[in-house]
Amino acid sequence: MKTEIGWILVRARGERILSLELVDTKAPEPPRAVAARLEAYFAGDLAALDALEVEPEGTDFQRRVWAELRKIRPGETISYGELARRIGRPRAVRACGRANATNPIGLVIPCHRVIGADGSLTGYAGGIERKRWLLEHERRYTALPAAQPVLQAAWKL
């Protein structure tokens, strides 16, 4: 499907869905329902992707990181260090970054909501411009928390 940030492919292949890249997931919904949820997200219904049940294949550590990413609310950003703290592994900042980078289901597992400790937009497989667009899109439809304007200023690369 064509979106504001480019093409997102959603295609059934047995128990697989193709979304930005090939991912392994047990999706209870047919691809049309997934596409409808993606369309709703891009139209401003930021909670549309929350109900999608996914079980991406990965290590226990990766799955913990990905589960924590799904808890970050739309429009909110956290640092890699905060992500490591939230999963109870405060020294595993780089490992969290690597798990973030190997996220197989972008958007549904919102790795774009993780930024550098200094507020900079760092590391996004879809490209920094897409990460910026996604964060701005989410902020357009949510109330901006008081601490966020400082971080937003760092986005101007």
Write the burial class of residue 110 (CB in 10 Å: 0-12 exposed, 13-18 middle, 19+ buried).
Answer: buried
Type and span of the H or E element at 115: strand 114-115
CB-based contacts of 100, cutoff 8 Å, min separation 6: 65, 69, 80, 83, 111, 114, 123
Amino acid at position 142, single letter: T
Q: What is the pairing mode between strands 12-13 and 6-7?
A: unpaired
26 alpha-carbon distance from chain centroid: 18
Q: What is the DSSP letter of 18?
A: E
- The catalytically annotated residue of 111, 115, 121, 135 is 111
Q: What is the DSSP letter of 141?
A: T
111 among known catalytic residues: yes
Active-site positions read: 111
